[in-house]
Structure 1
Amino acid sequence: MLHEEKKEKFRQLVENKFQIYNSLFMSLPYDKMSNIGMLLPFLYEESKVGYQAGKSPEEIVEEFFSKHTELTTEEQKTELLFKIIQYIERQVVLYDSIEDAAFPQLHSESDAGTVLQVHERALQEHQLEATRNKLKDFAIKVVFTAHPTQFYPNSVQRILHDLRTAITDDSITEIDMLLQQLGKTPFLNKEKPSPLDEALSIIFYLRYVYYDTIGELYKKVKNTFGTPTFTPAQDIIQMGFWPGGDRDGNPFVTAEITQQVAQELHLSILKSYYAHLKKLRRRLSFRGVSKILDGLSDDLYEAIFKEDQDISSEEILIKVKEAEKILIEQHNGLFKNLLEDFKDRVKIFGTHFATLDIRQDSRIHQEVIDEIIAKNSDLNIETITDQEKLDWLLKTDVVLDPNNFQGITKDTLQNIYNVKGIQEKNGERGMHRYIISNSEATKDVLNVFALFKLCGYPEAEINIDIVPLFETMEGLDLAENVMKDLYELPVYKKHLERRKGAQTIMLGFSDGTKDGGYLKANWEIYETKEQLTSISDRYQIKVIFFDGRGGPPARGGGKTHDFYASQGKTIANHQIELTVQGQTITSVFGNKDQAKYNFEQLLTAGIENDVFKNAKKDLNGSERKLLEELAEISYQKYSDLKAHPRFVPYLQEMSTLEYYGKTNIGSRPTKRGAGGELKFEDLRAIPFVGSWSQLKQNVPGFFGFGFALHELKNQGRFDEVKSLYKGSDFFKTLVLNSMMSMNKSYFPLTSYMKKNQRFGEFWTILSDEYNLSKEMMLELTGFQELMEEEPLSQLSVKIREKIVLPLLSIQQYALIKIQKEEGNREAYEKLVMRSLFGNINASRNSA
């Protein structure tokens, strides 16, 4: 489909439908709401015209009140603003549903990156055999995390789900009823969700979206590439799970919570099998077959509802194979494909559904280890070296009882004791990774290995992959030496042999970008992957990279297929693993059509990378040198910004940073460590990136990039950069992702800040770099406007930004009132928090 055709189709299926259904809002029975639909366009118009004329949000909102309402008291005005926010929140839900419903019509099976398109290409280029070989050594794993960037409570999620179906069917009556329900359904959690609540929220998607989606996609891959002698492995598409296992900075994730979540995942997959089997039995009603399947159904029921009963995936498969044998021998194999589909699902999901990972910060482990050594040895913990600690840990035969400790030490040990039980019930695939954030030394990995020994695990029974997460600039620099030391260490070498010679290494895009800026972080991670590939190959270790990516480009997100398809042969490509959080779960993997399409895009990116030759994937010496130079210049510029004395105070006082922690959206605190002055390194990546996004400044997605391009232009070397853009898919992807960040920026919203005595100069630095980056990138790409190559995303962003503009005006208005200490502070703080929700939900297409 050409760009103009695509745009036209989008207008018909999305924009026009939104106008029609949006009119239904006018008559909705919102609690205490009337005439909002009439007033909202006025606030939008005042905002649009006002910002163009250089007015402040305060002037815009006050003019809106005086011109279009007769409200006089502060209380009346804030009440109206709350109602407007509620109204816009629901408009966003409606728009999401309409866009989701249009997805299948805007994307086709022959799009770039689909399984059929890759098969067609492999056929034409005589690469079918090479593609099948790649499928033998490849898998994708999407790891769902509970980071707080999704603000819809479960009740709203379900309305969204139903609304999408009603819109697909064009059922006006049904849509009207659902919009009425939406009008009366609260959008806020009364209390912070617990880690178990977060887990259940994502398990909803596992059961009602991914069970079918992944099963169907596997069937598609099998039918497309399978032969009588080759069947793709069922684990080619995997799911990982962090809620309830990720305790990094989250004091509410305990050993008990981890066990509960593992149990919920176990029960949920058994329930999915039970429901699937119910449908299957309606077709396989034949003598002999039905008896076995009825018995299996009873076994599953018992395992779900009786505590003393359980069932393993092996036991399920034995019964299915018995039924299959009778079906073939006595009933002509009728409906064999349905039984085979069920069998494949059992092989895909086991009794675990998704792999529950454990994650903790290396510094916490060190505290735990120090307490253990102090209590159980004669060593003086104050004076001994790290090496002496390790020597004791690896030689001691002490086995600890968690009950002899308190607090985090007790919980850490108890959690490790529980791993064995979880593996017995959910299978080893159910829990086999321990991730260590902030890894910077070999001791960070060995501490975890030692903790398992201290909990009584013989070395041969530590069935766990120990995964270092390198996320700071320093950590990335040290990664190669850390892994070299580990690969050479006899005790760890043996551990890796038992783990089939594979080592998973996680790299943190979010924290990397926060630490080093957009261009530097991406280049640093690229180079680190190359170094780790090289060192792993040297020691004959199969290295698997796991990327801590978020939704927006500033957190390492962006166009994921393009990113992975652009990594050349210098980077190991056995598996694509990445984290997916919050709004990205609902926007990219939120329903069957989208999830299938986006899982497919990931799968084919990895295949394309190895199978199809493309000079644009591999960087030559001069391209590397140029990328290095650009990364260093941009890093210097970003570092200067970070070092600016107003950097953290600006976020604290002028953005919504402080309000993230007050919203009941996630179980995890917004900064590591408690109390004290806010330091840059304690800031979590999500509230950090989110605060820039709320300001419509998106600094981590572009800052320093334009400056670096401009520096080379000044040196008369811009043609070199243009050649790099044309010749390197990797660099091109970085540029396009950065443009997406800029397209969601809107500096006129905050231009009033340039008059602020304290922050005026700092705001100008940000604004100038934005203008320079935009100018340089348009010149580099030859585009007339940002995101020109992506008409659908561009249109979607445009409409969403339009919906959300009045919300931004309200948020800034409330922040100004708080800064001036005018009026009812509590009411204005609530306005800021409520507008947070709508803004983030509206920016869902940032993935």
Structure 2
Amino acid sequence: MSVEPKLSRFKQQVLSKYQIYNSIFMTLPFDTITKTGVLLPLFHETCKKGFANGDDPTKIVDTFFEKYQGRRSKESQINLLFRFIQYIERQVVLFDAVEDAAFPIVNNMEGIGTLRNLKESASSNNKLEELKKYLEEFKVRIVLTAHPTQFYPGTVLGIITDLTAAIKSNNLSEINNLFAQLGKTPFFKHEKPTPYDEAKSLIWYLENVFYHSFGEIYNYIQQNIYDDGKKHNEIINIGFWPGGDRDGNPFVKPDTTLKVARKLKQAALKKYYADLKNLRRKLTFRGVEERIIRLETIMYNYSININTPEKITAKELLKELLSIRNLIEEKHQSLYVNEINNLINRIHLFGFHFATLDIRQDSRIHHSVFTNVVDHLIATGSKSFPKNYHDLTEAQQIEILSKVSDEKIDFDAFEDEMVYNTLKTIEVIKDIQKTNGERGANRYIISNNQTALNVMQLFAMLKMVAFKDELTVDVVPLFETIDDLENAPKVMEQLYTNPVYMEHLKSRGNRQTIMLGFSDGTKDGGYLMANWGIYKAKELLTAMSRKYDITAIFFDGRGGPPARGGGKTHQFYSSLGPTIEDKEVQLTIQGQTISSNFGTLDSSQYNLEQLISSGMFNRLGKENHKMSDEDKIVMADLAETSYAAYKEFKGHEMFIPYLERMSTLKYYAKTNIGSRPSKRGTSDKLVFSDLRAIPFVGSWSQLKQNVPGFFGVGTALKKYEDKGEFYKVEQLYKNSKFFKTLLENSMMSLTKSFFDLTKYMSKDEEFGAFWNIIYTEYTTTKALLLKLTGYKELMENEPSGKASIEVRESIVLPLLTIQQYALKKIQELNRSGVQDEEQLKIYEKIVTRSLFGNINASRNSA
């Protein structure tokens, strides 16, 4: 299908509908301040014209009030700005709903990358057997994290869902009611959510989206590709971090983890009960009906009370359903057998755990906890640890940790809460495996993993505390920074040459999961280096693992927007080539990525199918994706040059002050969107390493400068242009799908930048020179990317994606203007030395409130 029709479909189904519904929405009287809906378009126009004339946000806001609202008092003007913020937030919701409703029409649900397309092309190329073989060993795991990159409370997510359905069916009276509900539903959270609240809001997606889309995909593969109704490799599964991810979150306690695991189990049981209830209406045959009623009753009681005396295991439930299916096939002409298969398949996929709860903690915390434990054991006469344990070399310590067995640890002997909680969590993993099955919790991720000792400390703790006989937990090192990525192969070789650890891997199917990257990679190394660092690490780790007959399973911390390692993810996976292990695709998804890529049944099914296909495309075209040695040299050089530029920029004396005083960084903590603190350290002084990636990337995004998604790219390309060797980069672009995908994602970051918003900073005595450094890199990157791709404008190859971004950026333009106006007022008040706390509070509230709509509007960064 050609590109133009997709853009036409977008214009008809999204743009036109949005304009119609927005005009209805704007006439609704939401508040005592009249005419907000009438004045907002005038303000929007003033912003557009003002920026085109080179005016700054203060002048634009002042001009608007002088021209249209001259008689308003200062207080009334501020109130109107707050009303504008409320309206714009809701316009973003409306656009989300319109875009979601149009998803299956704008995107070809049977086009390239879908399962139907995969099956048809395999059949026509006589590769159906190859496809079946691939699907028997390939898996996609998406892991839901609570990292807060979206500001919608659950109530608003519910309205978006209902509004999407009403727009799909053009139900005007329902749309009107939902608009009114939207107008009266607050977006602002007065309190931070607890980790359990975060878990509950993500379980909503499991129940309402993934349960159905996973099931549909599995059914399609079983019925149309295998055509046998048999149980196969589950192909897709789901991981879950809220309630298990402790890294930097002191509010995740052992009882939180247990509570979330219980909630996940209950949610799965409720879904099975609902399916059995529907089956009961259909399976009204002799010898079948009473058996289904019995199962329905058991599941109903079990879903309400986990401790009910009449329990059933997942295995028993499956056995009974299979027996019922056989009876229907033999005696009742296979009536409704597909419906029974659908339920059997879902139990196969979700078990009694629904999603696998991952545990994650920082290696530095483990080290501190482990030191405490060893000291206590030595003091109480340990059989395993010598008195001089801490003075031994790393290799000697690892040797001891491999053999630790009969050490008993009394949790209550430790006054330090972190020590107690860490040990208790290991016990909790064992408890969850007993109640929800092994898949309920069987992975422990060590973030900031730097050494083999980090892995072996956890390995020993798991065995000492709860897994003496058999360790049914995968230890997953997470290599994040550029240095750690380079060091990763050496760390893994140390583990692979350890006989005890290798014995453990053997019991886990000779597979080792390794997590790479996460958001901190881009923050640490800049855009090109972070992505190239992960690519190189994957190549070396694949070779190292294959050398020891281990299959490396790569788990990517991908983030949402390109600036956090995200972007068009499936394109990365289809471009890996033969030197990177590709048995599984595992990636984290969070915040607006969940709602934009997986928030509806259509988008969830489409994007999951794209991920499944990406691995197949990589496998079929493996040799074509192999990078030549010449291309690798150019890629490595580009990464190094951009890294040097980014490091110099990060080391600039104005880098931290600029973020602290000119951006929205410090306001993130006030939005109450996530349970984690917004920075790691406790110091009042802002230190780069304490910065969390999400507020860091988000602050650049609010400034419309998107630095982490492009900084250094222009400098690296310019080096080749200046040397007269640009043809080498053109060659790399032509040959490497990986490099092409990287640059296309960077173009998305550039498309979302708008430097006219902050141009006033270029004249600032303190920060003018620093702003100009960013702007110069932006213009260089943009010009050279256009030269390299041959495009006349950014994202030319993705017109519908570009159009979506343009509408969203246009909706929030007044919001960004108001935010910058308030930030400028805060700077002026701080510089003047006048202590006007009341004014300061008002402007700070405007900045915080305007964060919401700006972030939510960026959902297509996923």
TM interval, short-chain normalised: over 0.9
Specify the code of the residue in structure 1 equivalent to 2:374: I
Gaps of 5+ in 2: 380-386, 831-835
After superposition, the C-alpha distances for 1:698-732 in whole angstroms (9 at most, x for unaligned) are 00101110111111011111111111111111111
Deviation at 1:389, TM superposition (A): 4.7
Checking the alignment, whether the CA contact within 8 Å between 1:401 and 1:455 is kept in structure 2 is no
Asked if 2 retains the 8 angstrom alpha-carbon contact of 1:470 and 1:479, the reply is: yes
TM alignment of 1:265-414, pairs within 5 A: 265-309=264-308, 310-377=311-378, 379=387, 385-387=393-395, 389-396=397-404, 397-405=406-414, 406-414=416-424
Please identify, of 27-36 and 673-682, the stretch whose mean Cα deviation from structure 2 is larger.
27-36
Alpha-carbon distance, 1:490 to partner: 1.4
Q: Check the 8 A contact 2:6/2:107 in 1, yes or no.
A: no
Q: Give the TM-score, by structure 1 length.
A: 0.98
- Matched to 2:486, the amino acid is D
CA separation in 1, counterparts of 2:246 and 2:264? 18
The 3 A distance-change label for structure 1 pair 33 and 565 is: farther
Amino acid at match of 2:154: N
Q: Distance in 1 between matches of 2:422 and 2:31?
A: 47
Look up the match of 2:856. 841
1:645-667 per-residue CA deviation (whole Å, 9 max, x = no partner) reads 11111111111111111211000
Q: How does 1:573-592 map to 2 (within 5 A)?
A: 573-592=582-601
Indicate if the aligned counterparts of 2:82 and 2:846 stay in contact, CA closer than 8 A: yes
Report 1:556-705 matches (<5 A).
Answer: 556-612=565-621, 615=624, 617-705=625-713
Q: Which amino acid aligns with 1:649?
A: P
Q: Displacement of 1:76 after TM fit?
A: 1.9
CA contact (8 A) 2:218 2:234 kept: no
Equivalent residues of 1:138, 1:575 under 8 A apart: yes
Q: Distance in 2 between matches of 1:771 and 1:809?
A: 22
Seq. identity, %: 50
Does 251-260 or 823-832 show the bigger shift? 823-832
Question: Following TM superposition, by how much is the alpha carbon of 1:385 offset from its aligned partner in structure 2, in angstroms?
Answer: 4.9
CA contact (8 A) 2:288 2:324 kept: yes
1:427 aligns with 2:437: yes
Post-superposition CA distance 1:483-530 (Å, at most 9, x none): 000000112111111111110000014111111111111111001000
- How far apart are the structure 1 equivalents of 2:491 and 2:797? 41
Q: Residue 394 of structure 1: CA displacement? A: 4.2
Unmatched segments (≥5 aa) in structure 1: none
Match of 2:715 in 1: 707
Q: Secondary structure at the match of 1:19?
A: helix
Which secondary structure does the structure 2 equivalent of 1:414 belong to?
helix
Aligned AA (1:491):
V
Q: Which amino acid aligns with 1:703?
A: F
Q: Is the 8 A contact 1:31 1:184 kept in 2?
A: no
Cα distance per residue 1:799-840 (max 9 Å; x no partner): 000000000001111111111117611111111111100000
1:717 partner amino acid: E
Aligned to 2:215: 215
1:317 partner amino acid = L
Helix, strand or coil for the counterpart of 1:661? helix
Secondary structure of 2:190 counterpart: coil
Contact conserved, 2:631 with 2:732, CA < 8 A, in 1? yes
Partner amino acid, structure 2, of 1:481: K
**What does residue 384 of structure 2 align with?**
none
Find 1:532's aligned residue among 508, 526, 541: 541
Task: Kindly provide the amino acid, as one letter, of the partner of residue 788 in structure 2.
Answer: L
Quote the residue 1:739 is aligned against: 747
Distance in 1 of aligned mates of 2:467 and 2:183 = 55
Q: In structure 2, give the amino acid aligned to 1:681.
A: S
Taking a change above 3 Å as real, the CA distance of residues 572 and 289 of structure 1, as seen in their structure-2 partners, is: same
User: Does structure 2 conserve the Cα–Cα contact (< 8 Å) formed by 1:439 and 1:469?
Assistant: yes
> May I ask how many residue pairs the two structures share in their alignment?
844
Query: Larger deviation: 279-288 or 66-75?
Result: 66-75
* 2:841 matched residue in structure 1: 826
SS, match of residue 469 in structure 1: strand
Partner SS state of residue 76, structure 2: helix
Counterparts in 2 of 1:494-573, with a 5 A limit?
Answer: 494-573=503-582
How far apart are residue 428 of structure 1 and its match?
0.5
After TM superposition, the score normalised by the length of structure 2 is 0.96
Measure, in 2, the Cα distance between the counterparts of 1:766 and 1:758: 15
Alignment correspondent of 1:87: 87
**Deviations along 1:45-78, whole A, 9 cap, x unmatched?**
2211212222111111111111111354432222
Letter in 2 for 1:137: E
**Aligned counterpart, 2:774:** 766
What is the CA-CA distance between 1:420 and the residue it aligns to? 1.1
Partner of 1:68: 68
**Cα distance change, pair 830–356 in 1 and its aligned pair in 2 (3 A):** same
**What residue number does 1:469 align with?**
478
1:276, CA displacement in angstroms?
Answer: 1.2
Q: Which residue of the partner structure matches residue 55 of structure 2?
A: 55
CA distance in 2, matches of 1:290, 1:58: 72
1:305: how far off?
Answer: 2.2
Taking the aligned partners of 1:731 and 1:586, their CA distance within structure 2 comes to 27
What letter corresponds to residue 553 of structure 2 in structure 1?
I
Q: Which residue of 2 aligns with 1:148?
A: 148
Superposed CA RMSD in Å reads 1.5
Aligned equivalent of 1:452, options 437, 462, 479: 462
Range 568-577 or range 367-376, more displaced: 367-376
Deviation track 1:113-133 (CA, whole Å, cap 9, x = no partner) reads 111111222223322221111
How far apart are the structure 1 equivalents of 2:334 and 2:444?
Answer: 44
Q: CA deviation at 1:227?
A: 4.1
Which deviations, in whole Å up to 9, do the C-alpha atoms of 1:350-403 show, x marking residues without a partner? 000111000000000001011112222153687555455545544443211222
Cα 1:317–1:648, aligned 2, differ >3 Å: closer, same or farther? same
What is the DSSP-based 3-state SS (H/G/I as helix, E as strand, rest coil) of the residue aligned with 1:467?
strand
3-state SS of paired residue (2:50)? helix
- Go from structure 1 to structure 2 and tell me whether the alpha carbon gap of 1:80 and 1:622 turns closer, same or farther (over 3 Å shift): same
Single out whichever of 28-37 and 248-257 deviates more from structure 2: 28-37
Q: Which residue of 2 aligns with 1:264?
A: 263
User: CA separation of 1:622/1:38 partners in 2, compared to 1, >3 Å: closer, same or farther?
Assistant: same
Could you tell me how far 1:333 is from its partner in structure 2?
1.4
Whether the 8 Å CA contact 1:437–1:469 is kept in 2: the answer is yes
Q: Is the Cα–Cα contact under 8 Å of residues 562 and 861 in structure 2 kept in the other structure?
A: yes
Query: In the alignment, which of 771, 784, 788 is matched to residue 796 of structure 2?
Result: 788
CA distance in 2, matches of 1:212, 1:443: 42
- The SS at the match of 1:670 is coil
SS at match of 1:797: helix
Tell me what 2:833 maps to: none
Distance in 2, Cα, partners of 1:87 & 1:233: 50
Deviation per CA, 1:562-618, whole angstroms, max 9, x where unpaired?
111011010000100000000111111001000000000000001111124562x11
User: SS in structure 2 opposite 1:668?
Assistant: coil
CA deviation digits over 1:124-149, x for unaligned, max 9?
A: 33222211111111000000000111
Q: Distance in 1 between matches of 2:91 and 2:312?
A: 46
User: 3-state SS of the aligned residue for 1:457?
Assistant: coil
From 474, 487, 490, give the equivalent of 1:481. Answer: 490
* Structure 1 letter corresponding to 2:611: L
Q: Distance in 2 between matches of 1:634 and 1:509?
A: 19
Give the C-alpha shift of residue 323 in structure 1.
Answer: 1.1
C-alpha contact (below 8 Å) 2:358/2:442 kept by paired residues? yes
Residue by residue over 1:669-706, the C-alpha shift from the partner in whole angstroms, topping out at 9 and shown as x without a partner, is 11112224221111111111111100000001011101
Would the aligned equivalents of 1:509 and 1:522 in 2 still touch at CA under 8 Å?
A: no
Q: C-alpha distance in 1, partners of 2:230/2:585?
A: 20
